[in-house]
Amino acid sequence: MPDPNAQRYDAIVVGGGPAGVSAAITMAREGLEVILIERGRFAGAKNFFGGVMYTRALAEVLPDFQARKPPWERPVTEQGYWMLAPGSVVRFMHASQAYRQDPADAYTVLRARFDPWFAQQAVDLGALVVPKTTVVALIEDADGRVIGVRTDRPAGEVFAPIVILAEGVNNLLTQRHGLAKADLPPRFVALSVKQYIGLPAKEVSARFGLAGTQEGLAIDIFGDATLGLPGTAFLYTDKAGISIGVGLLLEEFVKHGLPPYAVLERFKRHPIVAPYLEGGEALEYGAHLIPEQGYDRMPELVADGVLVAGDAAGMVDALHREGTNLAMLAGKLAGETAVMAHRAGDFSARSLGHYRRALEQSFVLKDLKQYRRMTDFLDRSPHFMGTYSGLVNDAALRYFTAHDRPKREMEREIVGLLRDRRGFFGVAQDLYQLVRGMRG
Amino acid sequence: MHTIVAIKQVPDTSNVRINPETGTLIREGVPAIINPYDVHAVELAVRLKERFGGRVTAITMGPAAAAEALVECVEQGVDRGILISDRKFAAADTLATSYVLGSAIEALNAEDPVDLLLFGLQAIDGDTAQVGPGVATRLGLPLISYALGLESFDPVARRAVVRRKAERGVERLETRLPALLTVEKEVAEVARAPLPNLIRAARYQPELWTAEAPLRFDPDHIGIKGSPTIVGRAYTPPPKTPGERLRVAEQGLAETVSQALAAILSAGVVESLGPVPVTPQQEVSHG
């Protein structure tokens, strides 16, 4: 029997990231007594991402979020891709009036500022947020139902009829409870390294041609940025600084013996990139794992007394650099499921199955299902980013240079490039794989 | 039993940078922590409470953000946190600070008699080690600085024996209580706080004392007005260069000593002694 003096709550949330905080907000607003346990010094201390936060999922969790003054860096008013080759770039950027709404669809944020703000909203709505405490185990009853958690502190047991695991990519509790198989193999985990480079706000605006801090850029970069390996680099404008980073499958770092910081440093020294960063001061350096195992390798999301959400559940859409929005919506749905379970007084996996069904009807599992083959695509076409970025740049150079010779010659040369580098059959194969990857 | 611990929130100096032009600390973006010595003072207070019962009050003077530090004290097991904060206290030196803390402690003592006052040895951002002794002087209490630990503590007989770090070794001092101790880190090892403390701290709001309420501090003794200290200049000391090394093994002890003496004399450090004849007497065996 549990200790009668032990702490009891209506729900326990493990982890103070977007999924956990969204779940806590949802449940606290419905009057549940919620305790959220976070291992970092504060919610967000351990959190890290490239830098773009989408507001639609946030609005699902906190409809009045804008009135609560989130610490936005800049709205994303222009976004797109750079295809980088040594010494050159082809830019594919999109700016639109549609990006200039208030609230904007996407903002750049620094997690060290955003996450504490987000957690504070949960506190304001009545949730209890306990930092500096690690949950080391789930407590089960004789039938294997989860009834609480054990933390790494003295007198550290807490009981509740439902536990929401939003523990992040290192999902040890999810694994120990048998919901996830084991640590993800390195081919299904990306490692992203990033620097936040401080520059005066005016300087950031001037370098990227932005009118002020009401405008911002989000650029994903392929090709030479990752030495042509399957992965992406990114460059986002913050209020007074730039977030710059690279992400590769962990396997690639291992296979090529590349230290992550060296890949980032090389990217920062690229002649197209370096001038944007000049004179800036690296204020933050961090690295984080991103679960990219895809739909087919996601853990079980539901068991008796427990739900899994966010990175812990592999809810990342790598293709669209989305994750926090999936996590927020999943957290909200987990919270709603917990509220329903309380009303029904039933915390069995069967009752909690509502969570899985709600996710399947949302974009979270629909998108993950659609892009279920993306990882396989990158696996089979590792040259994709590198080869085509180089090609596009070489073609552009020929196209835009005045050679004083017939244009037909130039056109033939460009087609020749395609044939030599990849072969027409290879191109057809890549296109087929890409479409397959996108269509699911 | 009632213990008051005075703490200070300081920039984490392991992260701090100095503006080379102004010589001042760049505090922006530097995480704030509880002064490390103070954490041990709080721990000692909490241990004494576990043993003898009673209450622990933590007080601090500082900006609004210092409330976080008091919440951390509650996590450690402190019962009550008081933040003394007002723009009128700004730019206080150690004299003004010891006046404010001393007055606050007197008021708290009137409410609930204090048995022990604990201060960290010094704050890592100023290193003066003056505030604790200043408060003891103002309150007319026995002061034991550089306390290493309690050898005995008897709140009933109101006596304690304290080990104190001295220039040459450790002193054992017996004192009456209440007394004020400024403590070294050895005074108590910081234990991992139990979860119920963290749960209590998660919703704890420290009391706020301003310059006027609940106590009225004398406006002439607080803030910049009550602070006669003038900072002439702050600078980063140049790194010390190592001095000349004399090698005993190579040239013998006598020669080494005579060279060392010559160096000392030529540096003029012992000038007042007058000329000293430097004649090597005999080889002294050592080791």
Encode pLDDT of A198-209 as tens digits: 999 999 999 999
Same domain, B256 and B207: no
Same domain, B7 and B59: yes
Return the biggest CA–CA distance within chain A.
Answer: 89
- Confidence check: pLDDT of A425 > 80: no
Q: What is the pLDDT confidence band of residue A2, given thresholds at 50, 70 and 90? A: very low
Q: What is the residue-averaged pLDDT of chain B? A: 89
Rounded to an integer, the average pLDDT of A257-273 is: 94
Structural domain A7-73+109-184+297-361, CATH architecture: 3-Layer(bba) Sandwich (3.50)
Percent of chain A at pLDDT exceeding 90: 65
Structural domain A186-291, CATH architecture: 2-Layer Sandwich (3.30)
Q: Is residue B252 part of a domain?
A: yes
Same domain, B175 and B281: no
CB < 8 Å from A in window 222-281 of B: none
Q: Is residue B236 part of a domain?
A: no
The whole-angstrom distance between A126's CA and the closest CA on chain B is: 10
Instruction: Report d(CA A290, CA A48) in Å as an integer.
Output: 10
Decide if B195 and A128 are in contact by the 8 Å CB cutoff: no
Residue A222, H or E segment: strand A217-223
CA A10 to chain centre: 29
Same domain, B94 and B158: yes
Question: Of A268-277, A410-419, B25-34, which range is least confident?
Answer: B25-34
**Spans of all domains in chain A:** 7-73+109-184+297-361, 186-291, 375-439
Instruction: Report d(CA B224, CA B88) in Å as an integer.
Output: 8
The range of the structural domain enclosing residue B286 comes to 242-287
Q: Who contacts A71 (Cβ-Cβ below 8 Å, separation ≥6)?
A: A109, A110, A113, A114, A117
Same domain, B115 and B248: no
- Confidence check: pLDDT of A3 > 60: no
Decide if A155 and B195 are in contact by the 8 Å CB cutoff: yes
Top pLDDT among A170 and A319 is at: A170
Percent of chain B at pLDDT exceeding 70: 88
Same domain, B172 and B44: yes
Question: Of A364-378, B4-18, B249-263, which range is least confident?
Answer: A364-378
Tokens 């346990």, residue located: A37
Mutate which: B17, B26, B46, B198, vs A, most A CBs within 10 A: B198
- Confidence check: pLDDT of B111 > 80: yes
Q: Which phi and psi (to 5°) does residue A135 adopt?
A: -80, 120
Same domain, B174 and B270: no
Q: Residue B165: give its domain's CATH number.
A: 3.40.50.620
Same domain, B56 and B89: yes
Q: Is residue B233 part of a domain?
A: no
pLDDT at B284: 45
Over residues A26-35, the pLDDT tens digits come to 999 999 999 9
Q: Which residue does chain B place closest to A112, by CA atoms?
A: B29
pLDDT at B17: 66
**DSSP string covering A92-135, please?**
EEEE-GGG--SS-SEEE--HHHHHHHHHHHHHHTT-EEE-S--E
Q: What is the pLDDT confidence band of residue B285, given thresholds at 50, 70 and 90? A: very low
If one counts the domains in chain B, the total is 2
Q: What is the pLDDT confidence band of residue A420, given thresholds at 50, 70 and 90? A: confident
Question: A58-84: b or e for each residue (b if 16 or more CB lie within 10 Å)?
Answer: bebbbeebeeeebebbbbbbbbebbbb
Q: Is residue B231 part of a domain?
A: no
Same domain, B246 and B188: no
Top pLDDT among B265 and B276 is at: B265
Over residues A353-410, the pLDDT tens digits come to 999 999 999 988 888 888 877 766 665 555 666 778 888 888 888 888 877 778 788 8
Same domain, B84 and B195: yes
Q: Is residue B228 part of a domain?
A: no
Same domain, B142 and B281: no
- Residues A355 and A301: beta-carbon distance below 8 Å: yes
**Reduced to 3 DSSP states, what percent helix, strand and coil does chain B have, rounded to the nearest 5?**
35, 25, 45
Decide if A7 and B196 are in contact by the 8 Å CB cutoff: yes
Top pLDDT among A303 and B32 is at: A303
Give the ranges where A241-373 is alpha helix by DSSP (H).
250-255, 260-268, 274-277, 324-344, 349-352, 354-361, 363-370
Same domain, B284 and B152: no
Point out the domain boundary residue: B172, B189, B221.
B221
Q: Is residue B98 part of a domain?
A: yes
Decide if A132 and B203 are in contact by the 8 Å CB cutoff: no
CB < 8 Å from A in window 47-76 of B: 75
